[in-house]
Structure 1
């Protein structure tokens, strides 16, 4: 199974100067917890719902902020040719839950820890079925 088969390819993207209220609206409408900040087609950062919530520590009115005020400074990405095990390892090492997928410098999707857990759960279920069939002699 490839990353693009697991990942979301219709990613919420925003420009660096997008107001946080608009970012939140897009995330809410699409029922996601993050938006990738892009400069043209190039991903430059990511904003999560948690990052926006944490911005309240710095200011009384988060709505005065724009995407570049809240986004990550050091975006970690992956390529579509990596396995889901390698992506999970990257997430663990970097302490992140979302990883944009980049192909030739262009955003092609995003994979989340939830996506990886669903795949892993399915694999474990399949392994369990094999064990049950062998134990019952079928």
Structure 2
């Protein structure tokens, strides 16, 4: 067989980040301006950005917007998820899908050995890869049918 696709190969390396004290309105602007649905919350440790939480657009809606709270009274650390689910670069696509399903998350930071932020991988990233692989399988079926037609004549 051969190829083992890793998370490091499909993750996005350019991650939009926030800090604990970033205002929620500032966080929302970052999401809008960068066309992303989450911000990885980081702290600086020994020159590295260490992942400490994640803030999603859904977090903003369910915690602040829906209950009609004043967004200006809160910062990222008030709403972010701190029970962070992370992946490693060498995790497989299957590992990722199992983790997403088990943990009920759609976005996962990719971290190194000291929890330093390396990227982020999303359900969309996984679906893109799976769609490409399904297209290859469909092509195989079509090639087989064409080959059969050519041999029968």
Which is greater in Rg? 2
- Out of 29, 35, 49, which is 1:31 matched to? 35
1:92 aligns with 2:63: no
Question: Comparing 51-60 with 104-113, which one deviates more in the overlay?
Answer: 51-60
| Structure 2 unaligned blocks of 5 or more | none
Partners of 1:60 and 1:72 in 2: CA distance: 18
- Out of 8, 13, 17, which is 2:17 matched to? 13
**TM-aligned CA deviation for residue 121 of structure 1:** 0.5
**TM-aligned CA deviation for residue 60 of structure 1:** 1.8
Q: TM-score by structure 2 length?
A: 0.86
Greater than 3 Å deviation, 4+ residue runs? none
**1:15·1:37 contact (CA, 8 Å) conserved in 2?**
yes
Deviations 1:56-75 (Å, cap 9, x if unpaired)?
Answer: 25562122111100100200
Corresponding residue of 2:135: 125
1:95-110, aligned counterparts within 5 Å?
95-104=104-113, 105-110=115-120
- Out of 98, 112, 131, which is 2:122 matched to? 112
Q: TM-score by structure 1 length?
A: 0.94
Corresponding residue of 2:92: 83
| Structure 1 unaligned blocks of 5 or more | none
**TM-aligned CA deviation for residue 5 of structure 1:** 2.4
